[in-house]
Each structure stands twice: as structure tokens, then as C-alpha cells.
Structure 1
Amino acid sequence: MFSITIIILIITCLVSFGAFNNQKIMNDLIFYPPAVQQGQWYRFFTCGLIHADIGHLAFNMISLYFFGEGVERAFSAIMGDLGKWVFLILYLSALVASLLPTYLKNKDNHYYRSLGASGAVSAVIFSGLLLAPGSSVYLFLIPIPIPGFIFAPLYLLISIYLDRRGDSNINHSAHIWGAVYGLAFTLVASYAVGFDVFGYFILGVQDYLQNLGQ
């Protein structure tokens, strides 16, 4: 049986490939704040199924695969059979949470469009980094492994800088709020079942530093 991560990946790839050659699908699913304001709330979710190009899709789906599988297994270990469904709730709710600031800022902007699963993927990545802070991550094109607990603040700082600069078509706000939401969701969900995820994070950082010194 496929994991929730693989099912999301397959559905996203199928819809994205269909939208690449069909502008109507793209227009119907893309995040368009004025349309959301008129009641088309489903665009919070459907925009995560479409991507600008193959590179955009590949980056998000590769990231989702590597982090999503780990987070899904961790949730299942912490929460039992409920874990995979909690993971699905994380992903779907992150699509909305990551775009709410964008919506509030652009709800009357008839020129604004946004697409891609980056906000939800950021939530999954940061959930994974909270659960496994010593895991190695690569920052953009730098071929040097960075431990998760260092990568996370670097990623946020760079995203905040790029968002404030505002000279690209990338929705850095979705990355930022998706990441923050992923951390908050994992903290709340873990504590709800009696798992001290923050204490687990501290132990993970300590283990990494101890192993580094050996």
C-alpha cells in the first residue's frame, strides 16, 4: 500500500503535467485572491497541485519525498495508526496556512497569481527538521551538508530577506509561513498525545554535537 506521501506526490504530478499543456486547468486551479474572495476557497488547495514548470515540480516533489516519508513514519511511531492521517492534515492545512498572509495582502489585486506546493512542502520539511534536527540538508546549490537545526534558521532568514526584497516571482511568504506552521503543527500534535517533541529536539542536537566532537 502506498504511503500518504507517495499518493500526494502521484496526484500532484498527474495534475501538474495535465496543466502544463492546458491553460484552462491552470486558470481554474491557480491561487487567485480575488476569486477566493468571491467564494472559490478551493483554490487554497488546488494551487498546490499545479506548478510553473518541470523544475518547479521536481524540486517540490523530491523535497516532499525525502522529508514526507520520514515525517509520516515519525508521526506513525508517535501516534500509531492515526499518524498517517495527522500527516495528511498537516499537508492539507499547510496549503491554506501558508497562503493566508498572501491572500490578505493581495485579495484585491487582480494581477496576482500563485501556484505550487512550496508552502506545504516547507511545512513538511520543518516538521522533519524538528523531529530529526541532526539530519543533513543542502542549502540551495551549496554541496555541503548542513545539520537541520542550523539549516532551519538560515532558510528562514534567507526567505525573509528575499520576501522583503520582493524582486522575484517566487512567493517567499508561503515558504516562511509554511515553515512556521509546520513547526507549530508538529509541536501541538505531539504534545496532544503526550510526546515531548521539544525535549526530543534538544536531545537530537546534543547527540549531533557529541558525535561531531568524536
Structure 2
Amino acid sequence: MRTPILTPIVRTLIVLNVVVFIVQSINHQYDNQIISLFGLYYFESEKFNPIQLVSYMFVHSSSRHLISNMLGLFFIGPMLERFWGEKRFLVFYMLTGIGAGLLYMGVKYFDYASLIDATKAYVLHPDLEMFKKFLAEFYPNGLPGMATEYIPSSGRINVQDSVIIAEESLRAVLNTPTIGASGAVFGVMAGFGMLFPNTELTLFPIPIPIKAKYLVALYALFEYYSGIHKTPGDNIAHFAHLGGMLIAFIIIKIWGKSRNNFY
């Protein structure tokens, strides 16, 4: 596939993402403020705001995070924008990003429900022996960074300390935001695979062309496997990626394809 000529919406989206990241990069305080305001928080978090379902798509954690997303949008987005037109492509991009965020929060609901219930139960009936079991079950890789601040310098935790640590650990988990355009970009990739299934793409650095429909299927399988078998330290929102792909599938089925193949 030849290098695409940037289309208006794709260009605007890339510029907006880059500008936001430049502001983030000015200093650490700006970075924290932008993520705090515009990152997507779990709906039970004290920091959640519905507008974050849109704004989180324009915030990134690192230059690598930004570049990987923008390259995907750069190479694939213009094809869809020319196919649909500017307005429909923008609607598609935004809906896949919003849908990705909603599905991710839905998955998190099942992840967090037991933690929330267990924390509330412990706070009502605290016990140091039970606290050890609580930590082993829900924080096997250690407490969230913010919660460790509530451990006494002596290292000896009493019942009152354990209650505070349990509450602050839950607050830290709920106040961890999701950021990035990945959900929308994966939606764009899925849309490309559905509309232009036989277009051959080459994955760098492997110089072997593969049809778009197979590449999208492989990505979907990889994200599903990575989401189910998440390794310690993996902070990638795999189910947000899958959410973007799922919403793309639904939208295209609703809109209907006007042609089946593209070479």
C-alpha cells in the first residue's frame, strides 16, 4: 500500500493529538493536570466526568504511545475518509473511541466489583489477619503507589492503619485513568479490514505482505489473548482496543458496505 495523502479530518486529528502532547511535555505539572482533567476515569471514581469519554482520546502517556497511534491513523485513516467523506469518517472515529471507552469500563466493572465489595466489607469489620489475606488476594503485586504513603515509617500496621490503607488503595485504583487514541485507531483498522479486506499491508520490519482482513483478525486475537492473560506491569487497555474494533464492526454493519473488495 502506497503512502497516503493526508485528508482534512485525519490531519486535524493528528495535529490535535500532537498539540496536546506538546503541552503535556512542557512540564510535569501540565502533564498531570491534563491527564487528571481529560483522562477517562472509572465511572465510580470521584474524578469521572462524561466528557472524558471524548477527551481521553487526545491524551497520551509518552511519545512512543503517541507515535504508534498517529502512525496507524496516518496510514489507514485517509482511505476511510476518502471512502466515506469527512463527516461520516469523523462520526465513525469518535463513536469507535467512545465505544472503546465504554466497553473498557464495562470490563473494569467486573474487575472492580469484587474489590469494591471486599474493601467495604473489610472497613466494616477490620482485622489484621484478614488484612493480610485481603492484600494477598487483591494486591498480589503490591499496593498502588499512593497507598504506600499511608504505611507507618515503622512498618507496623495497626487496625486503624489497615482501614486507611484499604480505602486509599481502592481510591488509587479507581482514580487511575485510561488515555490514548488506541481504541479509535483500532476501530479505524477494523473498518479498513472490513471495507478493503483484500488490500495487502506490510508490517514493519517483516517484509511479508498480508491481506487486511487477516491482519485485523490477528490483531483482534492478540488483544483478546493479552487482555485475558494480562501480565504484571502490563498497563495497556487491551479490551479498549477490542471495544473499538467491535463498535467499528457494528457501525459498518448498520451503515452497510457499498462495495466488497478493493485492490
Q: Are residues 143 and 27 of structure 1, via their aligned partners in 2, closer, same or farther at CA, if it must alter by over 3 Å?
A: farther
Larger helix percent = 1
Q: Among 25, 41, 44, which residue is 2:34 paired with?
A: 25
User: SS state of the match for residue 9, structure 1?
Assistant: helix
- Partner in structure 2 of residue 147 of structure 1: 211
Counterparts of 2:49 and 2:184, CA distance in 1: 19
1:37 to 1:100, Cα distance in 2 relative to 1, 3 A: farther
Q: Report the secondary structure of 2:201's partner residue.
A: strand
Question: What's the CA shift for 1:101?
Answer: 2.1
Q: Which amino acid aligns with 2:224?
A: I
Are 1:163 and 2:227 an aligned pair? yes
Contact 1:159 1:175 in 2 (8 A): yes
User: Distance between the aligned counterparts of 2:47 and 2:65, measured in 1?
Assistant: 28
Counterpart amino acid of residue 24 in structure 1: Q
Any gaps of 5 or more consecutive residues in structure 1?
A: 76-82, 209-214
Structure 1 length normalisation: TM-score?
0.80
Deviation at 1:106, TM superposition (A): 3.1
Query: Which residue is equivalent to 1:67?
Result: 76
Describe how 1:1-214 pairs up with structure 2 within 5 A.
3-20=8-25, 21=27, 22=30, 23-34=32-43, 40-75=49-84, 83-106=85-108, 109-139=173-203, 141-167=205-231, 168-189=234-255, 191=256, 196-197=257-258, 200-201=259-260, 203-204=261-262
Q: How many residues align?
A: 190
TM-fit CA distance, 1:112: 3.2
Measured at CA, do residues 179 and 2 of structure 1 come closer, stay the same or move farther in structure 2, by a change above 3 Å?
A: closer
Partner SS for 1:177: helix
Does the CA-based 8 Å contact 1:36-1:43 persist in structure 2? Answer: no
Partner of 1:33, secondary structure, is coil
Using the alignment, how far apart are the partners of 2:209 and 2:82 within structure 1? Answer: 23
Normalization by structure 2: what TM-score?
Answer: 0.66
**Is contact 2:104–2:243 with CA below 8 Å preserved after alignment?**
no
Q: Which amino acid aligns with 2:86?
A: K
| Larger mean Cα displacement after TM superposition, 129-138 or 84-93 | 129-138
- Residue 51 of structure 1 contacts residue 115 of structure 1 at CA under 8 Å; is this kept in 2? yes
Aligned partner letter, 1:103:
M
Distance 1:186-1:121 versus aligned 2 partners, 3 A rule: same
Superposed CA deviations along residues 47-99 of structure 1, whole A, max 9, x for unmatched, are 11111111110110111011110000011xxxxxxx31111111111111011
Mapped contact 2:7–2:82 kept (Cα < 8 A): no
| Cα RMSD for the two superposed structures | 2.3
CA 1:98/1:37 → structure 2, altered by over 3 Å: closer, same or farther? farther
Q: Secondary structure at the match of 2:210?
A: strand
